[in-house]
Chain A
């Protein structure tokens, strides 16, 4: 994307540019769509939510009097009788990161007004997310089958299950919301809501615009990034 051009306002690069944008009237982030600015600020707030969860987890893990279960054993999959640590998580992470790639491509094709490619890539992203949630369901049911519960587990400290289900559950909830929106947007793209001026929404005057795909993309990349932290703190620590 090229830099936006603002009538009667010189956009300067770097720190000076930031200062001159801040000191100007009308907008602080020049040429940035309202929705995009909103999503960034929402994500900042959401970062605090996940930070609170993860810091609580660190505190809980550090202060529990019972030994913490060993993650490489708890999260191992048995392939042909041999335990392979972190196998499922590796696949889940790969799928989720790949879906970030398809999302980024969808944004590019969206701005090029390539309806077909954009639509298919959004759909691919949605399916990637759905696969991730499916594998998470598998992992949860495996752990539950082995006796891990929110209030206790056979491997060690009870807080292991509490934090694991709560934090991966909250992340999985974010992914699920994202998947729902990805399907809705894929439908909107194929149904032609973004053609021409854009279709108006119900009970609002907002018009559909391909920038929405980028806004959803921001959310999707954020959810992936959070997963990287959860991965590091739960499975590698």
Chain B
């Protein structure tokens, strides 16, 4: 690794002169106070290792996170295919035993929630977009940021290693409930569960390093003029989600450590007295409910760690592609913050059937339903943003519309499940599976897809094919509904989830055709995702050049000196921000958008609001 700093490339601190875009027509009007911060001194890599592997550029780290997360996501997708193969056509795959099925369920769940969605939103989009959108040269601690990715990489490697150890990966369900998770008889109760717990602990450590970067960059490294209330909602979503992660992951870390000790040292934190084949095991006196509380104190905020960045990103995408300012920006910000705060007071709604005190259920049902208020506010605001907008029905917008519909669907079934009396009969049925896949699987995934189509031109300089994009969208959208709508019905007739097969139960007759249909839809939807991969490869080879700012967007990431942005992001001079990111279709303006860097004197004759 080279240790020289290429001093001539380090950009000199900008002067504190009063500056606007063009030589100030009205300097007072355009005044932005001078910089508080010294210019950030960046480490520019020269070798392959320092430029592409152990890179300290947040953009490269973001892409590394993205690709690693997509790899785990593909593994999760293949696992879901295997599960659907068994459920739709039992016995067709000869190797599929009950043990394998449980292992696939567990790994699918954990991979998708933690290693795919969390890493993709915060590690991928967070790293790429935060410095660009707040107008910073890079994350505030680039070295720690690099370590964060490699810690995540090791966590993924450890997780994948568990597929190859004797006994295979853990099969205790993604919630890893003790005592069964570490007792003989559960698949992967030896090395599998240990590797899972170690991998989760590594993930938490790696994430903490990244999360501190995201928070301090947003709080302490914004460019001149970028106030908190001028930040794009993407940044607000990622920021709040990171705060949640910093406070929720400790519970996961602690429960992982305690369960590791239960497994390795024979402590009984979570282990009650257990009779096995007529013999009393060494364990005794512990509390399995304690694990559930710790796990869900992490697990519920985790839902919003995935959802809040999606909310933020979709707000920006809708605003850009409807050519209209986001309706109720401040309300949107406070809704994100409010949802984040409330998410710490609802965890036990995952535990209505755990045997906890019924009054607890009453409390947690109330808090759960209160979350519907800020969430509904956001949905109304998205719709009101679209209302009378100059909507461009392109692939990005289709994904956004798909998200709104899917999220409302999943949200409404959440109101069913939030109530104790309705939840108890529906608990552990396919209704629950349909609910959470709609609300935190498909809905955030739609946002990810929209975001990929939106920001791909920034990352690569080329536009993804719209034609393939539309195929991708419609197959995914219709297919996802074909999978999850019938699943609600399966839940109502009482088909239990996590069952390997239905044996000779009476469900067999009414559920069998539906299960076959769902499985076929799942194969098609899964395969449709490869359209995106094909599209990306094709576009990188000979896609249409995007040029600068192909969507006519306002936020800073589209106003860099070069596309794709180089290390340091903004060339010689950091941008100065004069407005929020949502000045679209302002009456009287020449174009239908006014970038954040445009000084007020240039648009003095328009009806632009002061932000």
- Measured CA separation A104–B557 after assembly (Å): 43
Closest residue of B by beta carbon distance from A34? B140
- Confirm or deny: A84 has a beta carbon within 8 angstroms of a beta carbon on chain B: no
A112 to chain B, nearest CB (A): 22
Asked if B226 contacts A150 (CB within 8 A), the reply is no
- Confirm or deny: B607 has a beta carbon within 8 angstroms of a beta carbon on chain A: no
Closest residue of A by beta carbon distance from B56? A204
Asked if A64 contacts B222 (CB within 8 A), the reply is no
When A25-B226, A150-B261 are in contact, do A49 and B216 touch as well, CB less than 8 Å? no
Q: A1-58: which have CB < 8 Å to B?
A: 6-9, 22-32, 34-35, 37-38, 41-42, 44-46, 48-49, 51-53, 56
Residues of A within 8 A of B251 (CB): 48, 52
- Confirm or deny: A166 has a beta carbon within 8 angstroms of a beta carbon on chain B: yes
A231 to chain B, nearest CB (A): 20
- Measured CA separation A27–B220 after assembly (Å): 4
Closest residue of A by beta carbon distance from B290? A59
Asked if A26 contacts B223 (CB within 8 A), the reply is yes
Binding-face segment, A88-96, A121-129, A154-162, A188-196 = A154-162
- Confirm or deny: A232 has a beta carbon within 8 angstroms of a beta carbon on chain B: no
Residues of B within 8 A of A34 (CB): 140-141, 216, 220-221
- Chain B residues touching A, majority SS: loop
Q: B167-222: which have CB < 8 Å to A?
A: 208, 211-212, 215-216, 219-222
Residues of B within 8 A of A32 (CB): 220
Chain B contact patch, size range: 35 or more
Interface string of B119-150 (1 = CB under 8 A from A): 00000000000000000000011110000000
- Confirm or deny: B5 has a beta carbon within 8 angstroms of a beta carbon on chain A: yes
Interface string of B265-280 (1 = CB under 8 A from A): 1111100000000000
Residues of A within 8 A of B268 (CB): 151, 158-159, 162
- Measured CA separation A124–B491 after assembly (Å): 65
- Confirm or deny: B337 has a beta carbon within 8 angstroms of a beta carbon on chain A: no
* Contact among A9, A51, A157, A203 for B285, CB-based, below 8 A: A157
- Confirm or deny: A206 has a beta carbon within 8 angstroms of a beta carbon on chain B: yes
- Confirm or deny: A237 has a beta carbon within 8 angstroms of a beta carbon on chain B: no
Which one of B3, B32, B255, B284 has the highest number of Cβ atoms from chain A below 10 Å of its Cβ?
Answer: B284
Asked if B3 contacts A158 (CB within 8 A), the reply is no
- Confirm or deny: A79 has a beta carbon within 8 angstroms of a beta carbon on chain B: no
A109 to chain B, nearest CB (A): 25
Asked if A38 contacts B212 (CB within 8 A), the reply is yes
Binding-face segment, B33-41, B153-161, B509-517 = B33-41
B371 to chain A, nearest CB (A): 21
When A6-B36, A32-B220, A162-B268 are in contact, do A53 and B285 touch as well, CB less than 8 Å? no
Closest residue of B by beta carbon distance from A7? B34
Asked if B224 contacts A26 (CB within 8 A), the reply is yes
A146 to chain B, nearest CB (A): 18
Q: B18-68: which have CB < 8 Å to A?
A: 32-37, 41-43, 50, 54, 56
Residues of B within 8 A of A158 (CB): 267-268, 284-285
Residues of B within 8 A of A7 (CB): 16, 33-34, 36
- Confirm or deny: A200 has a beta carbon within 8 angstroms of a beta carbon on chain B: yes
- Confirm or deny: B577 has a beta carbon within 8 angstroms of a beta carbon on chain A: yes
Q: A135-173: which have CB < 8 Å to B?
A: 150-151, 157-159, 161-163, 166, 170
Asked if B227 contacts A25 (CB within 8 A), the reply is yes
- Measured CA separation A201–B1 after assembly (Å): 13
A6 to chain B, nearest CB (A): 5
- Measured CA separation A37–B215 after assembly (Å): 9
B204 to chain A, nearest CB (A): 9
Q: B279-298: which have CB < 8 Å to A?
A: 282, 284-287, 290, 294, 297
- Measured CA separation A34–B144 after assembly (Å): 13
- Measured CA separation A94–B174 after assembly (Å): 45
B142 to chain A, nearest CB (A): 7
- Measured CA separation A44–B250 after assembly (Å): 10
- Confirm or deny: B246 has a beta carbon within 8 angstroms of a beta carbon on chain A: yes
Which one of B33, B224, B226, B250 has the highest number of Cβ atoms from chain A below 10 Å of its Cβ?
Answer: B250
Q: Please name the 9 residue pairs, one residue from A and one from B, whose CB atoms are nearest each other, closest first.
A: A8-B33, A48-B250, A162-B267, A52-B254, A151-B266, A49-B250, A205-B41, A64-B285, A28-B219
In the assembled complex, 8 residue pairs joining A and B whose CB atoms fall closer than 8 Å, in A order, are A26-B37, A34-B221, A44-B246, A56-B269, A60-B290, A205-B41, A205-B42, A206-B41
Chain B interfacial positions (CB closer than 8 Å to A): 1, 3, 5, 16, 32-37, 41-43, 50, 54, 56, 140-143, 208, 211-212, 215-216, 219-230, 246-247, 249-251, 253-255, 257-258, 261, 265-269, 282, 284-287, 290, 294, 297, 577
